[in-house]
Amino acid sequence: MGPFDKVIGYRRVVSELERIASVLVDPSPYERLGARVPNGLLIAGEPGLGKTLMARCFVEAAGCPCVTLRRTVAGNEFLDQIRDAFVRAAEEAPSIIFLDDLDKFGSGDRNRASEPEYVAVQSCIDDYAGKGVFVLATANNVLRAVPPSLVRAGRFDRTIYLERPEYEDARRIAAHYLREHSIPNTIDPDVVAQFPMSCAELEARVNAAAVVAASEGSDVVTTEHVVRVCVEHWEGRAWRPCKEPMDWQAAAKTKRYCDRARCACHEAGHLLVMELVDPGCSGFGVLLGSGARRGRGFTRVRRDHKPFSPDRTPEDVQVLVGLGGLVAEEVAFGAWSTGPHSDLEKVTDIVYGGLMHGVGGVQHLNVIGERNRRCTPPSPERIAWREAAAVDRIQQDMAEARSLLMGHWALHGQVAQLLYDRGIVYGEEVRAMLEREGGGTTEGDGLGVGAPSEVA
């Protein structure tokens, strides 16, 4: 088992760390080519991503003595610890000095480069340069907390920025964590990986899901327990099943989006259009709250989905999906509620951007001067033309979204009902419904309010 086998995912980062460690193990092949041992390595990123674990694996791979320094005291005592740590590292050279959480050495204000702690670290790095002391550091808020003069090349020749794990890495991390903690196969790592989480956050969410499951008298922790906890963390409110019957007649009389039935209709429209225009892209749809008269919802695209639509650009897909919710309400109830206006604003921004830059199905619309509006602002005629073109484009896309939904109207009703009852519908469920339907057109009453409203 190699030193970096403890790190799940992050293969690109691990490969670079292994390469740098190999220079410390045997620098002669690199020196023959004129390369020198790097002066330092900084691993930066938000908390909980495994920076300290990677640093420890790096030390193990390098095989050098290591002196670790963290801030545990304040004032002159810590300044003495900084100097003593570098002295001990030099005595054991070739060695590594590991500065863990470098951003906590000072006050956290990068503009205060003269802080004694940062000055001490900087002077020690310079004093011991070329004496066999390799400086390894981790930092959470390096761009906001650490002075640029401290982390420049020459002191830290390489800075590696860690991002939250991409889907494949997130799935591997989730599967590994669930397996290592002997959690039964009742949690699907593929679903858990849809939420962008650090390793520390994953552990906290699974633990919180276990608390929820135990409080409900459940014998196992399920995927839905984890999803509920994640949704509550991200949105501030949890989704719950609704025991009250769906009242479409009441929903037809109100224009309040927070009515759960209208909200279910709206989010089901997004989900279904997602799958129809870009199969495989929908992650899940959620209704927050549990009452029939209090609701708010959202849909999410799968993190691992790679857009593929030979006839549409990604902007075209975004516009159609954005219009799917309000069109569903229009078809079902004859009018929009108060909720879809934010969707319409987002769609308008996308279409407007396409008109300015020649994307989203509208090509060759750049005008000399519009690339730099500070020099040559667009004329009133050009602005009026752009607004008219945007309205025309949105009307065309609304007609297309309406046609897509009408072709699968009964299926839309099934998705809306499931969403109303359970509070969550997964993209896999929508895809399975479409497969059972066979891709054919289903006419009829999908929402329990008679035939779809004839809206001009």
Does residue 133 form part of some domain?
Answer: yes
Let me know if residue 100 belongs to a domain.
Answer: yes
Q: Are 84 and 185 in a shared domain?
A: no
Q: What is the pLDDT of residue 60?
A: 94
Q: Do 228 and 186 fall within a single domain?
A: yes
Shared-domain flag, residues 264 and 335:
yes
Task: Let me know whether 119 and 216 are in one domain.
Answer: no
CATH number at residue 78: 3.40.50.300
- Looking at the structure, tell me whether residues 111 and 205 fall in a common domain: no
Same domain, 431 and 284: yes
For 39, the domain range is: 3-162
Which of 235, 266, 292 lies at the terminal end of a domain, its last residue? 235
Report yes or no on 211 lying in a domain.
yes
| The residue type at 145 | A
CATH number, residue 329: 1.20.58.760
Return d(Cα 202, Cα 170) in angstroms, integer.
9
Closest among 360, 382, 448 to 412, alpha carbons compared: 448
The answer on 140 and 70 residing in a single domain is yes
Indicate which CATH number applies to the domain containing 199: 1.10.8.60
Together in a domain, 270 and 412: yes
Question: Does residue 39 belong to any structural domain of this protein?
Answer: yes
pLDDT at 110: 56
- Domain boundary, last residue among 111, 129, 162: 162
Is residue 456 domain-resident? no
Measured between alpha carbons, how far is 276 from 285 in angstroms, rounded to an integer? 15
- Considering the domain architecture, whether residues 119 and 207 belong to the same structural domain is answered as no
Residue 360 is predicted with a pLDDT of: 40
- 450, part of any domain: no
Number of other CB atoms surrounding residue 396 within 10 Å: 12
Q: Is residue 108 part of a domain?
A: yes
Q: Which residue has the tokens 């990677």?
A: 54
Question: So what's the pLDDT on residue 90?
Answer: 93
pLDDT of residue 42: 94
Q: Compute the distance between CA of residue 248 and CA of residue 261 in angstroms, rounded to an integer.
A: 6
Tell me, what's the pLDDT at 256?
54
Total domain count, the chain? 3
* Final residue in a domain of this structure, among 133, 162, 191: 162
Same-domain check for residues 78 and 224: no
- How distant, in Å, are the alpha carbons of 119, 263, 327, 349, 401 from that of 296? 52, 6, 17, 23, 22
Residues 214, 285 share a domain? no
pLDDT recorded at residue 65: 94
Kindly give the pairing relationship between strand 95-99 and strand 66-69.
parallel
pLDDT on residue 292: 54
Assigned domain for 449 exists: no
pLDDT tens string for the chain (456 positions)? 788 988 988 899 999 999 999 999 988 888 888 878 888 999 999 888 899 999 999 999 999 999 999 998 877 899 999 999 999 999 998 999 999 999 888 865 556 657 888 899 999 999 998 888 999 999 987 767 788 888 888 889 999 999 888 888 888 888 888 887 767 667 888 888 888 888 888 888 888 888 888 888 888 888 888 888 888 887 766 666 676 766 665 655 555 555 788 888 899 999 999 999 888 888 888 887 665 555 678 888 887 777 666 677 888 888 999 999 989 988 887 777 666 567 888 888 888 777 665 444 433 333 333 444 444 666 787 778 778 888 888 899 999 999 999 999 999 999 998 988 888 898 889 999 999 887 543 333 444 443 343 332
pLDDT of residue 197: 83
pTM greater than 0.85 = no
Judgement on whether residues 171 and 270 belong to the same structural domain of the protein: no
Q: If phi over 0 gives left and psi between -120 and 50 gives alpha, with beta otherwise, what is residue 198?
A: beta
Sign, CA dihedral 311-317-321-326, equals: negative
